[in-house]
């Protein structure tokens, strides 16, 4: 544990203020992470109101930090804020999903092309490490940790594009469909899961060779396949038939 004794010459007041700010930021980050996981993992139904009192009791917090976290999730597209009526989980239609996944496919395709021009050997090694970690979760059928590792790999490729505008756009769209992707992963058929792993092997191979055009095409098709799985799952959950467009990819 680090010492809390101030160094000689350090103003105690400033140290305390800085420590308080770090503590508040850490608390906010923890609340945000727990709340995001709670929503993404489907603990509140699509379109349902956010039970603020229940969540405050669950997390042991007041409504002020909870509402600050809800504002962040609204900016990420996971929930909708209702004027003077709290918030609710955002409900997406099959058409919404198709459009969002197509935009994501375009963004990841561009990210892959740019990443191959700028990525370092160290970054590739880290993505490779994450890939084999994800593969371990796949072998153990640990879908929760598989999903988290999968997300980190895609985010690292986007980060390696060295394009902040692209990264911000990707984060925005990724937030809107994170919940659906998570639930679709849990419903994923064994054959499709194996196909997804093979696609990730191809992604890693193209990245190692810095084959930008090839990686761009692989990522685009990979997201198209995810789109089909997500739309199919949404149709099953809501008791309807998947649209014809979902059969593509």
What the block records as the tokens of 241 is 């038939």
In terms of domains, do 198 and 150 share one?
Answer: yes
**pLDDT at residue 4 above 60?**
no
Q: Identify which of 36-50, 52-66, 93-107, 112-126 has the greatest average pLDDT.
A: 112-126
b/e for 111-142, b at 16 or more Cβ within 10 A?
bbbbbbeebeeebbeebeebbebbeebbeeee
CATH number of the structural domain spanning residue 36 = 1.10.10.10
| Residue 3 in domain | no
Q: Rounded CA gap, 115 and 108, in Å?
A: 10
Q: Rounded CA gap, 61 and 27, in Å?
A: 10
In terms of domains, do 128 and 189 share one?
Answer: yes
- Each residue of 21-46: pLDDT tens digit? 565 677 788 999 899 989 988 899 98
Cβ neighbours around 82 below 10 Å, total: 11
Query: Can you give the C-alpha Rg of the chain in angstroms?
Result: 21
Q: What is the DSSP string of 125-163?
A: HHHHHHHHHHHHHHHTT-HHHHHHHHHHHHHHHHHTT--
Instruction: Look at residues 89, 109, 140 and tell me which one is the last residue of a structural domain.
Output: 89
Q: Rounded CA gap, 139 and 134, in Å?
A: 9
Q: Rounded CA gap, 159 and 204, in Å?
A: 15
| Residue 150 in domain | yes
Instruction: Look at residues 89, 109, 136 and tell me which one is the last residue of a structural domain.
Output: 89
Q: Return the pLDDT at 243.
A: 38
Q: Return the pLDDT at 157.
A: 98
In terms of domains, do 121 and 240 share one?
Answer: yes
**pLDDT at residue 63 above 50?**
yes
In terms of domains, do 165 and 231 share one?
Answer: yes
In terms of domains, do 59 and 106 share one?
Answer: no
In terms of domains, do 208 and 169 share one?
Answer: yes
Domain count, the chain: 2
Q: Return the pLDDT at 99.
A: 93
Q: Return the pLDDT at 192.
A: 84
Q: Rounded CA gap, 202 and 218, in Å?
A: 7
Instruction: Look at residues 65, 89, 113 and tell me which one is the last residue of a structural domain.
Output: 89
Its domain, for residue 187, covers 94-247
């Amino acid at each position: 544990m680090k010492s809390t004794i101030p160094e000689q010459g350090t103003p105690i007041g400033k140290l305390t203020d800085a420590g308080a700010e770090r503590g508040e930021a850490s608390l906010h980050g923890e609340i945000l992470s727990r709340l995001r996981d709670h929503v993404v993992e489907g603990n509140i139904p699509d379109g349902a109101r956010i039970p603020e009192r229940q969540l405050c009791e669950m997390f042991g917090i007041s409504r002020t930090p909870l509402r600050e976290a809800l504002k962040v999730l609204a900016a990420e597209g996971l929930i909708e804020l209702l004027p003077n009526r709290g918030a609710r989980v955002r409900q997406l239609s099959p058409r919404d999903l198709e459009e969002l996944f197509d935009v994501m496919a375009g963004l990841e395709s561009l990210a892959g092309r740019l990443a191959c021009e700028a990525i370092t050997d160290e970054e590739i090694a880290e993505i490779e490490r994450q890939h084999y970690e994800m593969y371990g979760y796949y072998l153990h059928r640990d879908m929760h940790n598989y999903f988290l590792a999968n997300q980190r790999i895609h985010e690292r490729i986007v980060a390696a594009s060295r394009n902040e505008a692209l990264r911000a756009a990707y984060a925005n769209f990724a937030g809107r469909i994170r919940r659906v992707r998570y639930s679709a992963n849990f419903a994923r058929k064994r054959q499709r899961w194996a196909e997804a792993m093979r696609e990730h092997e191809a992604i890693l191979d193209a990245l190692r060779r810095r084959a930008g055009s090839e990686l761009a095409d692989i990522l685009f098709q990979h997201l198209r396949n995810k789109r089909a799985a997500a739309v199919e799952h949404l149709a099953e959950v809501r008791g309807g038939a998947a649209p014809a467009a979902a059969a593509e990819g």
